[in-house]
Structure 1
Amino acid sequence: MSDSAHMRGPAAVSCGDVSRSSSLAGCSGILGRSAWAGGVRRKIARVAPSTSTVLIVGPTGTGKELIARCIHEQSPRRRGPFVPVDCASITGTLCSSQLFGHVKGAFTGADYESLGCFRAAEGGTIFLDEIGELEPSIQAMLLRTLQERIVVPVGNHREIPVDVRVIAATNRVLDEEVQAARFRMDLLYRLRVMTIQTTSLRQRLEDVSVLAEHFLTRLSKDNGIPAKELSVESLAVLLAHDWPGNVRELQNVLECAAIFSDSESIQPSALRIHKSPAAQPEATAGTIPAALQPFSPHQARGPEPAECLETWLTLPEVEAQHIARTLEVAGYNQSAAARMLAIDRHVLARKMKKYGLRKPEGLQ
């Protein structure tokens, strides 16, 4: 961060590290072969060239900041700063000065002038993470900044124009926060010009193998350790986990395994997966993940079988669909898919030939 963006003394702004294009080399995009990953990549490409405000919504650990950085990196503002702000951490009396700046002597301890996060992001992008945590008084100030594109530093009455693109993110349902009078409706309308929805990792299990390969490659480079790869059994264990911590949890599990694994192939014993109290019993390599289990007609009331015979799946059709879904989730690794299905790899190969299932062209 430049000296003009850095604030000295006790009134320093609590913006995240201000990044520019050269420091965003780690933004490798949204990885995965799932429909969600492909859809988000297309949406980023569409929204990046504009200056419109973007709201990213989804569970914690699903890559909201990565999406924001990728939008910035693909935008005309990529040579300007990217300033992440953790809104959950900027509570209290100094919140307005941290966002909008202050003049010297504005309050006790204000020994230096502060630009604030918005002015530090001039010509670039400010990322307001967990915006649902902002206090009501700050929400009103933010609304004015979004409407007028100006900031008024604490202790000053002069309006200062700012040229900043705003990307916000939250894990809250802001419509419910509005109903509960914890979030301003007019601010929500200002933020929700374009919306990108993230999804939990358990909803896109077909991306686990791609993400795991990426993380292990990066961990090897960052830590100076030999390259590691997942064994077939370890991949099956990862695919059977429900990942309450999402992609962030997967990354942490792989980092620990890569560091403590003595062999180049990471075995299930090296995977330190912490089960939450509400988690299901520990899965084995042969366990079928819940997301892959076929639907049972007893799970919900519906038409009697006689009423829908024309659309009722036959047993071979159910088997073909289940094998196809398992292959997709396993990244068409036949050994891993056979493990998940608890059958021999040669049996799987015969069934794939029987049902005409093959690896899509162009898939690595």
Structure 2
Amino acid sequence: MNARRLASPPHTSGLVGSSAATCRLRAEIARAAPFASNVLITGPSGAGKELVAREVHALSARAGGPFVPVDCASLVGELMASQLFGHVAGAFTGANCDAVGCFQAANGGTLFLDEIGEMELPLQAKLLRVVQERVVTPVGSYAGRPIDVRIVAATNRNLLREVREGRFREDLYYRLHVVHLQASALRDRPDDIPALAATFLQQLAGEGLPCCTLSLEAIAALMAYAWPGNVRQLRNVLEQSVIEAAEPTITGRSIERLLEEEQYYDEPLTDESAKELAAALPSPPLLPPLPASPAWMTLAELEREHLVRTLELTYFNRAAAARLLGISRQALLRKIERHGLA
């Protein structure tokens, strides 16, 4: 009997929505994915850039290989170099054995460099060499190892502005910016919101939360909101609404109340409102003075100290802390994670 090769099922797009922006993005991904060229994805935080990267990988010839995501904002210096390029035993304190870096782990597949604009300049130079030569050298070694990796990078920054201001290497920018994909802000594609909301509610039900639907008034309220936190914020609001819902159908009033709270915390904090917020907070415990340090405090240490004091002042109310610091809650959460304060 002749063996028959079973046809693989058609790929189902992970991009949800039917707006003009989403349809255009799907077409651009389908056109660029089959090639091995590097891809740069731009767009605001929470707009789904990693989902776009996974779609590029899924539609490429490398779909059977690994997809390895790396958060460039979470690690710095030698630790980041080790994570990207690997290291050999004895390369630095604590390196007790050889380690395979993300480049080698992604061999034959796709390496996704998220928040590439946060990468330090010295590390950018090392990355450029790997991108150019397709050879990775582990930390502490002189022996290069050939790799076959497609790089997909993402950023919420304007990298050309970063290049002009000396914070990003121009040569690396052009190596990564071969194919450009733009993830649009959610406020620019409100037609996608009903489909996204239905998908998120289904996912939440699969995670053990109550199975809920949205009323027409609730959908209208979601579509009228500006969504500064984009798709990530939409999922967060829906999760809150499901937890608080007394009935299987989420009402418009419930959504409006949650969005009013979101809008309050997304407003910029003026000097006057900062004073009012600080005055409204309960008196915090007496904070200890800054410890005397024999060396000059680094910027990272100073930021961590200020974060700790702000969180203590607000009794670890992250929304209030973000307002006092003049940053978004998403930015605050990233900083908390980066400094190990979670």
Give the TM-score, by structure 2 length. Answer: 0.72
Letter in 2 for 1:133: E
Gaps of 5+ in 2: 1-10, 269-342
* Aligned-residue offset at 1:259: 2.5
- Does 1:233 pair with 2:226? no
Cα RMSD of the aligned pairs, angstroms, is 1.8
Residue by residue over 1:51-89, the C-alpha shift from the partner in whole angstroms, topping out at 9 and shown as x without a partner, is 110000010000000000111111111111110000001
Query: CA–CA distance in 2 between the matches of 1:278 and 1:82?
Result: 34
Aligned partners of 2:159 and 2:173 also within 8 Å: yes
Aligned position for 2:104:
119
Aligned position for 1:68:
53
Gaps of 5+ in 1: 1-24, 281-364
* Aligned-residue offset at 1:93: 2.6
* Aligned-residue offset at 1:212: 0.8
Secondary structure, aligned partner of 2:70 = strand
Letter in 2 for 1:176: R
Structure 2 counterpart of 1:265, from 233, 238, 249: 249
Residue by residue over 1:218-241, the C-alpha shift from the partner in whole angstroms, topping out at 9 and shown as x without a partner, is 211222533x21111111211221
Query: CA–CA distance in 2 between the matches of 1:106 and 1:140?
Result: 20
Structure 1 counterpart of 2:64, from 79, 91, 96: 79
Aligned position for 2:33:
48
Query: CA–CA distance in 2 between the matches of 1:213 and 1:75?
Result: 28
- Does 1:244 pair with 2:228? yes
Call closer, same or farther: CA 1:160–1:42 in 2, change over 3 Å: same
- Does 1:275 pair with 2:263? yes
Query: CA–CA distance in 1 between the matches of 2:30 and 2:119?
Result: 29
**Which is higher, the Rg of structure 1 or of structure 2?**
1
Letter in 2 for 1:196: L
More divergent stretch after superposition (171-180 vs 237-246): 237-246
* Aligned-residue offset at 1:171: 0.3
Query: CA–CA distance in 1 between the matches of 2:267 and 2:217?
Result: 21
Secondary structure, aligned partner of 2:93 = coil
Letter in 2 for 1:77: R
Query: CA–CA distance in 2 between the matches of 1:71 and 1:278?
Result: 32
Aligned position for 2:6:
none
Aligned partners of 2:102 and 2:111 also within 8 Å: yes
Aligned position for 1:159:
144
Higher helix share: 2
- Runs ≥4 in structure 1, deviation > 6 angstroms? none
Letter in 2 for 1:54: V
Query: CA–CA distance in 2 between the matches of 1:54 and 1:84?
Result: 14
Letter in 2 for 1:95: M
Residue by residue over 1:134-182, the C-alpha shift from the partner in whole angstroms, topping out at 9 and shown as x without a partner, is 1111100100111110111111101100111100000000000001000
Call closer, same or farther: CA 1:278–1:220 in 2, change over 3 Å: closer
Aligned partners of 2:77 and 2:123 also within 8 Å: no
Query: CA–CA distance in 2 between the matches of 1:276 and 1:133?
Result: 28
Call closer, same or farther: CA 1:278–1:160 in 2, change over 3 Å: closer
Aligned position for 2:161:
176
Query: CA–CA distance in 2 between the matches of 1:202 and 1:95?
Result: 34
Aligned position for 1:329:
none
* Aligned-residue offset at 1:213: 1.2
